[in-house]
Structure 1
Amino acid sequence: MIARWFGKNAGQEAAVEAAALRSDRFRQAREGDWQRLDAIVTRIEGGRLRKLSDEDLVALPALYRTAVSSLAIARETSLDAALIAYLEGLARRAWFAVYGPREGLGAWLRRFFLGGWSAAVRAMGIDLVIALAVMVLGTVVGWLLVSGNPDWYYSLMAGGSDDVRVPGASRAVLLHTLFGQQDQNGLSMFAAYLFSNNAQVSLIAFALGFAFGVPSVLLLIHNTAGLGALLWLYHGQGLTLELVGWLAIHGTTELFAILLAGAAGLHIGRAMAFPGEQPVLTAAAVAGRRAAQVMVGVVLMLVLAALLEGFGRQLIDATYARLIIGGTMLALWNAYFFAYRPARVRVAG
């Protein structure tokens, strides 16, 4: 019995020694490549990329694949845990060096604002034209519907029971909704609500683009039909210019953002419907990356529009001042998106 126990214990010790020997041989055969990869990655992590030689840069991908292959073998053959942990850490660090982002947040923001966003918008040119045409069509349809039957107004406008902007309202009542709101409290909460509502419309228009863009078109028509109904209501009391000024101070930014969101949804839908020579998923992925970059800017535009609507429109009580601010914002957006064309800008996708 004792002899059997000693024999079993000796066999276990021999197995452990054999495993250690295999691990040592495995390490000795590849340790040079691991150490070189570790040194290269350490320099990259320390921001010393320019100090790397051309030979090291060329060898980096191959060294990374060697480390990953070594990790797979170590796991498969159950080599010692310390070696596996080392290779896992090295492979993880090397992955970021080979495939990770090449710029920090500050560099990305500079590239985004200094041409990346505008270039992505211009790349969706035909979709912008289609979205703009759909929004104009929606406004005209809304006007025609309520002019033919005022009951359509209640279907197109989502006002509450206390909203005085209804067909039949007097000029004085409608005029009061446009002016005299300087003393209104809770403007910051109002701005937050407007941002939430406008963001919801824009994100839905973008998200529904995967269905070949059809839901995005319908949402744009429905959203702008309410604008047409509102224009009809105030036009009937001779307040068209006053309403346009009331809308312009924020609307040139807000409607531009909704236009971009709708165009982004159409861009994805059109890529899926007409992928060209690319597979559908590949075309959708390329369009999606470009549209996502545009949507980052859309969110920022909606924040600005909410501030203009929640504060500027309430505090500025003159029609022409409102028109000047709205017109200036429209000119700035058009100049940035279509006139500002810095060289060497990489477009997403």
Structure 2
Amino acid sequence: MMGLPFFRTPEIETPAEIEAASLRSDRFRLQRQVDWQRLDSIVTALENGRPRRISDEDLLDLPVLYRKTASGLAVARETSLDAATLAYLEALVQRAWFQVYGPRMGFTGWLRRFVGGGWSAAVRAIWLDICIALAVMAAGTLVGWLLVSREPDWFYALVPGGMAGGRTPGAGAAALRESLGTKPGSDGLSIFAASLFSNNTGVAIMAFALGFAFGVPTLLLLLYNMALLGAMLWVFADAGLGWEFAAWLSVHGTTELGAIMLAGAAGLHVGRTMAFPGDRSILAAMQAAGVRAAQVMAGCTIMLIVAGVLEGYVRQLVGDAAARAAIGTGMLLFWLGYFILSRPPRERET
């Protein structure tokens, strides 16, 4: 609390010393108790959510009363006043500190403000990094497709065996089509989907965390991750099931891959700011970039949760390719609409 030093009350041995200390404590309390009681009443009204009961004069004097009481606490510790006075002042100063310097809103209020425009504003602020991340992801998908189409052995270098689950170059169309279904009890692409979701969650975290290295590892990670997806897409397209696989993936993929793109853009934003701080110092530029990137990453967490629900439930319940594509397209339009149209509320003038 306030970082004030701890003072150990010395032992008082004679009755005269006890009486003198008591008088000193009483005098100290009487000189200041009016301010303490006033501060206590103001803090109590604020804690009970009744600010209207506080007069304008009291509200304006709150910081002054807090500082005077904190100063009184320091004096009380130095002059060895009684334990009851010290305990009361310590509790009062702590309560007043939260009202003067503490957060102005709780978690619910912060979440409402964050979802209501704070997140979208942070995303729009890094639009250039998003464009770069999107271009790299598109290039990665194309690279994976071209590598496997020209040399199928590249598939095994790009896609881990546990994730592929038998869906490899040369697999029959019937087996691949069956894996896209929703038949109860069959694993279908559940192993691949779970592995892909786990992989993409890790990629989102790593893409952001590696941004400090001027964004280069982030770009390489996005490139490789999408090359993996491009390789798998070629396997299904080669069997004449490219549309079905794209529709299957879109149910949760537009949300999941969108989260990866934003996470990569957030990491790239940090790295790019370190490399090109502009007129500001590197520390000041990093501080501003870190706040924006952290907001974007907090929103990515929400997107990954939504993607998990879509993958675990919606995709398993909807088997028609057109319906799956409609859901995926709908989610894409939803996120685009949110990030473009959602604006943070204006600050009220005081």
TM-score bracket for the superposition, by shorter chain length: 0.7 to 0.9
Query: SS state of the match for residue 140, structure 1?
Result: helix
Question: Which residue is equivalent to 1:309?
Answer: 311
Would the alpha carbon gap of residues 23 and 221 (structure 1) be closer, same or farther in structure 2, given more than 3 Å must change?
A: farther
- Report deviation, 1:258: 1.2
Question: Which residue is equivalent to 2:7?
Answer: none
Question: Which residue is equivalent to 2:118?
Answer: 116
Q: What are the residue-to-residue correspondences of 1:73-84 with 2, within 5 Å? A: 73-84=75-86
Check the 8 A contact 1:252/1:329 in 2, yes or no: yes
Query: SS state of the match for residue 85, structure 1?
Result: helix
**Which of 37, 43, 46 pairs up with 2:45?**
43
Q: Return the letter of the residue paired with 1:169.
A: A
Q: What are the residue-to-residue correspondences of 1:281-320 with 2, within 5 Å? A: 281-320=283-322
- Report deviation, 1:312: 2.1
Would the alpha carbon gap of residues 241 and 161 (structure 1) be closer, same or farther in structure 2, given more than 3 Å must change?
A: closer
**Which of 260, 264, 267 pairs up with 1:265?**
267
Check the 8 A contact 1:249/1:326 in 2, yes or no: yes
TM-score, reference length from structure 2: 0.85
- Distance between the aligned counterparts of 1:55 and 1:34, measured in 2? 16
- Report deviation, 1:251: 0.5
- Report deviation, 1:188: 10
Check the 8 A contact 2:180/2:188 in 1, yes or no: no
Q: Return the letter of the residue paired with 1:96.
A: F
Check the 8 A contact 2:148/2:154 in 1, yes or no: yes
Check the 8 A contact 1:216/1:266 in 2, yes or no: yes
Check the 8 A contact 1:165/1:174 in 2, yes or no: yes
Q: What are the residue-to-residue correspondences of 1:117-266 with 2, within 5 Å? A: 117-160=119-162, 163-184=165-186, 196-266=198-268
Q: Number of paired residues? A: 338
> Which deviates more from structure 2 when the two are superposed, residues 94-103 or residues 280-289?
280-289
- Report deviation, 1:138: 1.8
C-alpha distance after superposition, 1:327-346 (max 9, x if no partner): 11101110111123364279
- Report deviation, 1:277: 4.2
C-alpha distance after superposition, 1:185-240 (max 9, x if no partner): 79999988765544332222223333333332222222111111112222222222
Question: Which residue is equivalent to 1:6?
Answer: none
**Which of 14, 17, 26 pairs up with 2:16?**
14
> Which deviates more from structure 2 when the two are superposed, residues 333-342 or residues 67-76?
67-76
Check the 8 A contact 1:208/1:215 in 2, yes or no: yes
Q: Return the letter of the residue paired with 1:101.
A: P
**Which of 24, 29, 32 pairs up with 2:31?**
29
- Distance between the aligned counterparts of 1:188 and 1:162, measured in 2? 11
Structure 1, unpaired ranges of 5+: 1-8
Would the alpha carbon gap of residues 101 and 250 (structure 1) be closer, same or farther in structure 2, given more than 3 Å must change?
A: same
Q: Return the letter of the residue paired with 1:336.
A: Y
- Distance between the aligned counterparts of 2:246 and 2:210, measured in 1? 30
Query: SS state of the match for residue 160, structure 1?
Result: helix
Q: Does 1:57 align with 2:25?
A: no
TM-score, reference length from structure 1: 0.85
- Report deviation, 1:309: 1.4
- Report deviation, 1:22: 3.0
Would the alpha carbon gap of residues 40 and 280 (structure 1) be closer, same or farther in structure 2, given more than 3 Å must change?
A: farther
Question: Which residue is equivalent to 2:6?
Answer: none
The Cα RMSD (Å) is 3.0
Structure 2, unpaired ranges of 5+: 1-10
Q: Return the letter of the residue paired with 1:118.
A: S
- Distance between the aligned counterparts of 2:240 and 2:169, measured in 1? 14
- Distance between the aligned counterparts of 1:253 and 1:161, measured in 2? 20
C-alpha distance after superposition, 1:46-80 (max 9, x if no partner): 11123323322222222222222222232233322
